[in-house]
Structure 1
Amino acid sequence: MHRYSLFIATSLLFLGCSSVSDNNHTPQTITNTQANRAVTLSHIRAYLLIGNIEKAEQLFQGLGHTENNTQTLLILSELKAAQADSLGAQQAFLLAMDNKIASEKPMVSFVLLDYFCTEKMWPAIEGYGRSINSAVISADLKNTQLTTIGQCYFEQDKWQAARYWFEQLDFSGSISPTVYLALAREAVESTQYVRAKDLIEKYDTVKSTVNAHTLWTAFEVYTALNQPQQAIELGKQLRILFPNNSFTRRYILLTKRERIQAMKEDPLPSLTLRSSLPLPLEPKSATNAFHIIKKSETLYQLSKRYGVTTSELMSWNPDIVIDDISIGTEIRITPLR
């Protein structure tokens, strides 16, 4: 009897251990499956990012049954968009959002485009744009969606891509002022300055609001067009309206570098001796009452050019700071009368 009891106990212990082992194995298998799926999804995203849509499609098909989880559906939406299947992209996106925006189906394309833009999903945006171009929709709706796509590239300083999508617009309809600004900036990039001047003037005519990015972009255009007064005014607006913005910091660093470079090229006489040959004097006539600061110019240079002292220039221009003069600043070079 004792031996029989010992055998039963040993058997039960063995079965119990096997049961525990099996119970521990199931969650581990599930975890491994989830991990494999996550790795595959990351590979699909990588192929989409480099524009290999065919390989991304193959990997997605290899997943077999696609679980209705947010991440899988969002990647499916991105894949469908890259394939120019806008309807499939929207359907997958709605499912990913758990139908929370199902009541907004007419507007889902803008929500989806905003998502693609925020995540910088360029192949998806390109494919979606192609589907919009070939779709039979109203001119106003097409303009709005193409403007959204162009704006996305504009905000990332992708000037040529922004120009391409903006040029697909129907300019006989209503056009966002930002379109003219972005096209002006791209024209500067391609050294088409006459075109840039025409476009920036259109932008200034129709603009109604500004932000730090548009102010900075307009500043770049006017600087390239050698219109310092407008550029200076935009720089002032940046510093006043958006003092802590990254574009404002970029503007401050740019002007600071220019001042440092100017000081290196033409230090004050107390630091080093300049050539004994004087700069040609210009008469103090009524037409020469003011001088517009150009790149690398300093008060010391102006004093030599106009035959005055730096102290006089400072007294005639009490608002300027000797080491903080921006390009385009108007400097009085004759006494007040």
Structure 2
Amino acid sequence: MTSEFEKARVLHQREFINLDYDKIKEIANYYLINGDLNGLLALSNYSQILVAELISASGFPERAILSMERDPEAAVKLYRQVRWKLNERSRSLFKRLIAKIVIKISSGDSRGFSVNSKEYSVAYSPGMEFDLEKTIERMIEKCKKVDEMRYEDIVASDKRKRDKSLIMILDSSGSMTGKKILIAMMIAAIASHKLRSGRYGVVGFNSTAFVIKSPAENKDSVKVIEEILDLVPIGYTNISDGLKKGLEISYHLKNPKYLLITDGEYNVGEDPRKVARRFKNLCVIHTRGKRDSRGSVLCKEIARIGGSKYFVIDDIKQIQRVMKSILD
């Protein structure tokens, strides 16, 4: 039986037509019970309604949830494939489940860095915290014994609070699907987790720009992630309008950082390089498109003109390193 299902998994859409409805439903149920998200994706290419009805009726068994945690990209693709065919309750549950998984993964991946405070080594005064490791290193350098220690030998630790702000400017045009949306969700999750004492905002753009979260808004992070997940990839790519909207919602912030996430395939609006001149700290994350050379050149130029860094993310494992560099 298992081998039969494994063979069915690799069937192309036209080959599913040769199977009767009950057999396809049986295969879909097998995939759901065993958490085979890619199998469900393959079946949904043949019948979104069948897969959506099964999820709406059965919910998600434990193996399916574990598979979402292991492969959030497949979960995002499946949700966006069948979301409008799910009943309202199941769509809301599926969306909330993915958002919480993304936040869980992103929070774990970003434990290695802090942006709200920075530690400095300073001269020690009584009552201050001290850095034991650096103090020992100083004693060794001076060839001193412990009983010879003086105040000037102690390295104090001074943690200073840093209020940081980040404005994400997210491409939601027709070319931004699947992994690109997952990358945007994870970046937003890290921003919401790390900038608790600072502020962050999210702007989306396709043919025109729109605000998902203003920096002054106290919006639940799960809700922000859900809205990014539900972005419909339609319209043209008006990067300049997105950049202008990012500036508009951040005029009251002190030295905010900006992060443009796009494949760089702009095809409407003003040349974004002209708008980039108005920025002091505009980072660009390039999500590779089909015509990569053109998009890559534009993204690099926007980052250079905007006075900051250019990054490429092809795998979600790279996100933590990139965000540490941006927020540090």
Per the normalisation by structure 2, the TM-score is: 0.30
- Identify the structure with bigger relative contact order (alpha carbons < 8 Å, sequence gap 6+): 2
**Larger CA Rg, structure 1 vs 2:** 1
Per the normalisation by structure 1, the TM-score is: 0.29
**Structure with the largest fraction of strand:** 2
